[in-house]
Amino acid sequence: MTKKVLILFAHPLYEKSRVHTALVRAIPRIPEVTFHDLYEFYPDFNINIEHEQQLLLQHDIIIWQHPFYWYSVPPMLKQWIDMVLEYGWAYGRGGTKLQDKWVMNVLSAGGPYEAYAADARNRFTVREFLAPLEQTVRLCHMHFLPPFVVHGTHKITTDLIDNQAHRYRNLIEHLVAGTALLDDYQGMEYINQNTKTVTDGR
Amino acid sequence: MEGSFLETALVFLVAAVVCVPLAKKLGMGSVLGYLLAGILIGPFVLGFVGSEGHDIMHVAEFGVVMMLFLIGLELDPKEFWKMRRVVFGMGFIQMGVTTVILGGICYFALGFSHPMSLAASLALSMSSTAIVLQTLKEKGLMHSTGGQSSFAVLLFQDISVIPILAILPLLAGPQAHASLDSHSLLDGFAGWAQTAIVIGAVGGILLFGKYIVVPFLRLISKIRLREMFTASALLLVIVVAYVMQLVGLSPALGTFMAGVVLANSEFKHELESDLDPFKGLLLGLFFIAVGATINFSLIARQPMIISGVVLSVVGIKMITLYVAGKIFGLKSDQNILFSILLSQVGEFAFVLLTFSRQLDVINAYYTDLLMACTAISMTLTPLFVLVNEKLIDPYFGVKTKSDSKQREADPINEQHRVILAGFGHFGSTIGRFLRANGIESTILDHDSDRVDLLRKMGFKVYYGDATRLDLLRAAGAENAKMLIAAIDSPQINAELISTVRKHFPHLEIMARARNRFDAYELIDMGVHNIYRETLYTSVHMAIDVLRKMGFRGYTAMRKGLDFIRYDEAALEKLAVYRHDMEEYVVNVREQIEMQEKLLTEDLHSNLTAEDHAWDSEPMRAGTATNHQ
């Protein structure tokens, strides 16, 4: 049974992003995958709640794809969370419309993997910074998958970008196929962690 | 056969309507069709037209006059400067060498006098702008290298008629002075004085065009009557032609100069499109007249002499042209086309020969003979072109097609992707905003003062009625991506949009609508990008009203944006409903009905219902556990 994937893409300066251009290009153009460019769709930040909720209902897996600004999501994505995940709909009394959907972040960070540690410059890991998002997902009765992280984007080589884009494509195809199990991702820090290229993407 | 005006018109038009499409069907081009029509109705075949052929020739020469005005208009000084090497180099070689060879033959072989040899050879070295340009246009060869070279040489010839006409009186010597017309002001002046007057007249036209005609046209354009502008354009050409004739100069040259003067004015395209149909018809008439006046009895009496003269003149011209083409590096196929195209003796020869006869430089017998040769050589050109096309050109791996495409790429690059029609308060805001963001647009506007200002500011502006197909074409509608219809009048805007949708379906249309009802019309026309003046401004004003009434700025803004979204959805919905109430003829009734429908729709929508973003009230009201 195939699954439907909704990619909520939020990048205020997409035209200048090498990493996200490559990642977006890698997204398979198939009916099971919906690519939704929030900054393009809502240049005035006036998110159409009803439209967004309909989209959510039509999909099984939600991907928040965005750059990691100030250890968090860009304002558009926060606006989306604030407006769309309504009380009584997504959470709270009777709010079970999103139950059992999967959510994950696909993000790019300027700093290398090593910079995100207790004894390093950023003092916390990416997973720790994502705690509010993880809890938001939990509160809405959904499952939070480990993030797909591209590190060191300021200095990353084209080859490494292509490599990550390729892995992103494989991941989406794997998710769409419907054979992935939640247990597969248990205990993973990053969903794309099992190669060296991720950890030292400089 | 002498007949009334209606009969004459009937004969000419029937001949043209029968012969020209037939000739085109047979692949011969319209010029040959007109010429054949002329021969057919002329005194030597059917005899419908007799001596009045000459009179009609005079009327029809006005077609040549108008053509030269339009050529002048086309002559952008910048373009001309780019072509200067070809115009003066190639043109000079063609004129100079042909004149020297033909003059030498006249003088040494035929024993003509000095002045007669010079006058005859100058006249014969002219080619026919009318035939060549018409042929190039019809075959789509205007932008091929052969076509461009032909245009350059013709330009040089057209320009050199000025000094030639000035020199001819000098050739006549001090004792003989005549002129084109009996009432010419030049009568009684010495040769040098006539020359001075010629130069003075040319200067006069330059001043006249710049300081009288342009302000006059501006005045006329403010009246906003299209037929008045057409009348003024015709008047302008006729006045110049008349004045030139009065001082004994070629009207064709005068109007050519006037055209050049106006080439840079904002009225260029308007004048062009207004005069083009007149030019086409009159030129057709001119060709018919040429056909009808060929003196077949003269030819019948001396077939050997005439055919000898025609063949040697055409042959010599062809060889000279080919050599000139080689010097300027034309490829063989283009060079052959170029040599064939310009090999005939042109309509200026008629003018020059007539003038020479009046000056007694060439006697009547020879002018008649040379005029017959001229007419015959003109009929030969379309035949040669046909032969070249069918038999010769195929040997050269025909490069004309791709060649012409490459050439055309230049002007396309200069055209903008956005065409902005209407530069009033609405359109100008769009234009300024686009420019501020590095998107240049081609602007169409019909307010001449504004056009003037915009040109000074470096905008690319076309003056004229944007609903006209030719103007849209000139503005590059064929290659543009988008048309912004921002004209003040909703009727004209709608007219423009329907023209564009019909002829340039590839253009994306962004339409200004005054109100809801204009928008409905546009929806019916299939336009999707509709911008109502009365929506955005009033909502933004209402947002500010809300703020002054105590709403927080962001909340008011969100409400306003939601309202716009809702109203645009309602527009599409009610556009369908509108068709159900066609029985309401009275506009006011219709408006009230619509208003009522709108207000009811508002009640049923959840427009006033709150969304729950950032609002914890429902949470507190709910008995569920407190999460946040």
Which DSSP letter does residue B392 get? I
Instruction: Judge: B623–A93 Cβ closer than 8 Å, yes or no.
Output: yes
Min distance A139 CA to chain B CA atoms (Å): 8
CA angle (B398 as vertex; B141, B339 as ends), nearest 5: 55
Alpha-carbon torsion A152, A154, A157, A159, what sign? positive
The pLDDT assigned to B189 comes to 65
Instruction: Judge: B622–A93 Cβ closer than 8 Å, yes or no.
Output: yes
Min distance A178 CA to chain B CA atoms (Å): 32
| Beta pairing, strands B418-421 & A143-144 | unpaired
Instruction: Judge: A83–B562 Cβ closer than 8 Å, yes or no.
Output: no
- Portion 587-626 of B in contact with A at CB < 8 A: 611-614, 618-619, 622-624
Q: What is the pTM of this model?
A: 0.51
Contacts 24+ apart (CB under 8 A), B404-411: B404/B140, B404/B141, B404/B142, B404/B143, B404/B144, B404/B147, B407/B143, B407/B144, B407/B145, B407/B148, B408/B143
By mean pLDDT, which of B67-71, B412-416, B616-620 is the weakest? B412-416
ipTM over 0.90: no
List chain B residues with CB under 8 Å of A46: 558, 561-562, 565
The pLDDT assigned to B331 comes to 79
- Band of the pLDDT at B590, cuts 50, 70, 90? low
The answer to whether residue A195 scores a pLDDT higher than 50 is: no
Q: How large is the average pLDDT for residues B387-391?
A: 79
Smallest Cβ–Cβ distance between B611 and the set A44, A83, A93 belongs to A83
- Band of the pLDDT at B607, cuts 50, 70, 90? low
Q: Give A32-86 pLDDT, tens digit per residue.
A: 999 999 999 999 999 999 999 999 999 999 999 999 999 999 999 999 999 999 9
- Number of A–B residue contacts, CB under 8 Å: 32
By mean pLDDT, which of A110-114, B49-53, B76-80, B572-576 is the weakest? B49-53
**Paired tokens of A80:** 């989306």
The pLDDT assigned to B266 comes to 76
Q: Give B166-218 pLDDT, tens digit per residue.
A: 777 777 765 444 444 444 555 566 667 777 777 787 788 778 877 888 888 88
Chain A residue with CA closest to B614: the answer is A82
Chain B residue with CA closest to A45: the answer is B558
The pLDDT assigned to A61 comes to 97
The contacts of residue B4 (CB under 8 Å, 6+ apart) are none
Residue type, A150: V
- Band of the pLDDT at B459, cuts 50, 70, 90? confident
| CA nearest neighbour of A196 among A165, A148, A160, A171 | A160
Instruction: Judge: A48–B558 Cβ closer than 8 Å, yes or no.
Output: no
Best of B557, B605, B607, B612 to mutate (most A CBs within 10 Å, chain A): B612
Instruction: Judge: B612–A46 Cβ closer than 8 Å, yes or no.
Output: no
The pLDDT assigned to B183 comes to 43
Cβ atoms < 10 Å from Cβ of B413: 7
List chain A residues with CB under 8 Å of B561: 44, 46
Instruction: Judge: B611–A93 Cβ closer than 8 Å, yes or no.
Output: no
List chain B residues with CB under 8 Å of A87: 612, 618-619, 622
| Beta pairing, strands B529-532 & B508-513 | parallel
The answer to whether residue B385 scores a pLDDT higher than 90 is: no
Contact B90, B332 (CB under 8 A): no
* Cα–Cα distance measured from residue A4 to residue A6, given in angstroms and rounded to the nearest whole number: 7
**Paired tokens of B323:** 């050599």
The answer to whether residue B33 scores a pLDDT higher than 50 is: yes
Chain A residue with CA closest to B559: the answer is A46
The pLDDT assigned to B412 comes to 33
Smallest Cβ–Cβ distance between B619 and the set A48, A83, A87 belongs to A87
Instruction: Judge: B612–A139 Cβ closer than 8 Å, yes or no.
Output: no
Q: Does B82 touch chain A (CB under 8 A)?
A: no
Chain B residue with CA closest to A90: the answer is B612
List chain B residues with CB under 8 Å of A49: 611, 613
B399 φ, ψ (degrees, to nearest 5): -100, -5
* Cα–Cα distance measured from residue B529 to residue B509, given in angstroms and rounded to the nearest whole number: 7
The pLDDT assigned to B448 comes to 66
